[in-house]
Amino acid sequence: MGVKVYGLPISTCTATVLTCLHEKEVEFELLLVDLFVAEHKQPPFLSKNPFGQIPVLEDDDLTLFESRAISSYIAEKYKDNGTTDLLRQGDLKEAAIVKVWMEVEAHQYNPAIQPIIYQYFVAPIQGKTPDQTIIDDNLDKLGKLLDIYDEKLRSTKYLAGDYYTLADLHHLPYTHYFMTTPFATLIDSRPNVKAWWEDISSRPAFKKVSENMKYGEN
């Protein structure tokens, strides 16, 4: 049956999974889910993810949802594929640091950047007026967080060390959209963060995915 991904190219969470699959050179089939007709809330999709969210991954008889869990599964199952061990599984301490920064992305970075992207891109599509107060509050949070990142990246090339891992990969989709907004100076004004972003966003795996990450064009 092989690997199947149910999602949309413009979806940040789908993009996370697709980037990981490309990094690990795994062949897969992308099956589009039409959110605009609420396909993700219909029984066939809910049987795969009862929470009605994309993406979903099927790998033979295994069905997974939640993009971070999916990418971790891919990185572990296909650890010998590609050129990069995205979890640093050969070294307990290195693997632990990767997990720390994966947690930082999930619980610090994402809660700050996600509302900005929602208000700037998604709200207008839904016919809503972006809430500038929400944007401003989260820009403040993100700026303080990026100060910490800039200091961390002064001593290492990537977040978990001098090697690219899932800790970096998980930042890609939301930051990609963020860099197309007027707020991109938050990244560009911090030299170490800027260098890190230019490095990770130029990886071939993400470039394949980001070509289709254009709101209103998918």
Residue-range domain boundaries for the chain: 3-78, 92-209
CATH topology of domain 3-78: Glutaredoxin (3.40.30)
Q: How, if at all, do strands 28-32 and 56-59 pair?
A: unpaired
- For residue 182, the tally of other CB atoms under 10 A from its CB is 6
CATH topology of domain 92-209: Glutathione S-transferase Yfyf (Class Pi); Chain A, domain 2 (1.20.1050)
pLDDT mean over 69-88: 95
Position 123, amino acid: A
Measure the CA–CA gap between 149 and 153, rounded to whole angstroms: 6
pLDDT mean over 42-65: 95
Long-range pairs for 129-136 at CB < 8 Å and ≥24 separation? Answer: 135/183
**3-class DSSP state of 138:** helix
pLDDT mean over 137-155: 98
pLDDT mean over 197-216: 92
pLDDT of residue 218: 37
pTM higher than 0.75 for the full model? yes
pLDDT mean over 119-133: 93
pLDDT mean over 93-108: 98
- For residue 63, the tally of other CB atoms under 10 A from its CB is 14
